[in-house]
Structure 1
Amino acid sequence: MSIKRIEIGPRMSQAVVHGSVVYLAGQVALGESVGAQTKAVLAQIDALLAAAGTDKSKLLTTTIYLADMATFGEMNAAWDGWVAAGNTPARATVEAALATPDYKVEIVVTAAL
């Protein structure tokens, strides 16, 4: 089985396709609020999934990391407006220290082709 890497960097690829599964690296974005960052991250996810030949209706799993669980509702408001109705993935949301204090949310997804 071949492996396709998308947006290859020195440390990681932003997406890897193996077989009929797409694995995305954790996606982060800058912005003033967790809502703004979440929307930007979801747009990045859309673009990476499209580059891999799939879309958000084929999400399998999602892990969302929040710098502060108090922002869970704000993140969910952005998520709920984006996720494909009837095709919601298995999901976990956890509080974690992210790579820099500027990041408020990081999202990792796995999707089918």
Structure 2
Amino acid sequence: MINRIDQNNRMSQASQNGNLIVLSGQVSSGKNITEQAQGVFETIDLLLHKAGADKSNILYANIFLTDMGDYEAFNQVWDNWVASDKGQAPSRAAIQVVRLANPDWVVEVQVFASI
């Protein structure tokens, strides 16, 4: 049975089937990459919690940036958030995209987790 978390008519923010949790790409408002990344990670934490997991359960992350010039600033926020202190830094990819669905967004993060 698939568990849909924060579902609307178009999509679910997260879907869980057995031990696998897949989050839709998460975005956040903010003036810059740092603020937006912090907001994205707060939302990811909340969605994982609703599925009975936390960031140490993340297997893989797709990171979409509209400007690779933001890569280092993003990584500073990532490094402070990710569960590397528990030996749980996930696999990931960082991809530059032309733009996201809202032109004010500069980062979107999708994660796959397992419990």
The two structures share one fold, judged by TM-score above 0.5: yes
1:63-93 deviations in whole A, cap 9, x for unaligned? Answer: 0000101000110010000000110111000
CA offset at residue 101 of structure 1? 1.3
Q: What does residue range 72-91 of structure 1 map to in structure 2 within 5 Å?
A: 72-85=71-84, 86-91=87-92
Measure, in 1, the Cα distance between the counterparts of 2:114 and 2:89: 13
In structure 1, the residue matched to 2:103 is 101
Gaps of at least 5 residues in structure 2 are: none
In structure 1, the residue matched to 2:17 is 18
Measure, in 2, the Cα distance between the counterparts of 1:29 and 1:9: 18
**Large movers: runs of 4+ above 4 Å:** none
Q: What does residue range 1-12 of structure 1 map to in structure 2 within 5 Å?
A: 2-12=1-11
CA offset at residue 108 of structure 1? 0.1
TM-score by length of 1: 0.97
CA offset at residue 56 of structure 1? 0.4
Measure, in 2, the Cα distance between the counterparts of 1:24 and 1:83: 16
In structure 2, the residue matched to 1:112 is 114
Gaps of at least 5 residues in structure 1 are: none
TM-score by length of 2: 0.96
In structure 2, the residue matched to 1:38 is 37
Residue 37 of structure 1 aligns to a residue whose secondary structure is helix
Count of aligned residue pairs for this structure pair:
112
Residue 45 of structure 1 aligns to a residue whose secondary structure is helix
Measure, in 1, the Cα distance between the counterparts of 2:37 and 2:110: 12
Residue 37 of structure 2 aligns to a residue whose secondary structure is helix
User: Residue type matched to 2:39 in 1?
Assistant: A
